[in-house]
A = this chain, B = another copy of it.
């Protein structure tokens, strides 16, 4: 009955791991990150995650306690090592815009934490977990890079723009944004970032 290894999503053959708790845990975690990113917290079951990891569903509960705790670790894994914004303070706006446009390009189907966030935001528990993950990992070090007062608020506004573009381009796939010219779109988004990355010296609501 184990002839079902021709899964549509699993890239690797079963490969009969040696009994190794650490490696198995890690395999489950990687499978969970991929599955939650592609289908969201509610859209994937523990059996599917386990199958792609080459184990049975019960090992998830043994190693992580529950689906919810697995999700929490998956969120940490997905957000922790990523540098959501690249570049120094001076070129931060442009670099972030270029990276965003490249990662949300039509062909790319990168497993980005923003996808995990957006596709899991519907479930209240998942949203709470994602919120803490975003605040601890991304928001904090992003705010540290922004000079001037109100850095926390501006950092989260920048994340809002990033999330919004991810939503429209990749999750929903609206026409104008999904099919936009990359260079032009990057320019527009860079202009959006401008008032966020530059310190708000005297630039308030003047018109």
Residues of A within 8 A of B (CB): 39-43, 94, 117-124, 127, 130-131, 134-135, 139, 143, 150, 152-157, 159-165, 167-168, 171-177, 180, 183-192, 194-196, 200, 203-205
Contact = CB atoms under 8 A, between A and B. Distances in A.
Contacts of A156: 168, 174, 176-177
Contacts of A134: 172, 174
Given A139-B174, A159-B168, A160-B168, A188 B121 contact: no
Contacts of A175: 135, 152
Given A184-B153, A188-B195, A121 B171 contact: yes
Contact of A176 (B139, B168, B177, B180): B139
A165 B155 contact: no
B131 A172 contact: yes
A180 B175 CA distance: 33
Nearest to A186: B205
A155 B168 CA distance: 11
B191 A195 contact: yes
17 contacts: A39-B122, A40-B42, A42-B43, A43-B124, A121-B121, A134-B174, A139-B174, A152-B176, A157-B165, A157-B189, A159-B174, A160-B164, A161-B192, A163-B163, A183-B205, A191-B203, A192-B192
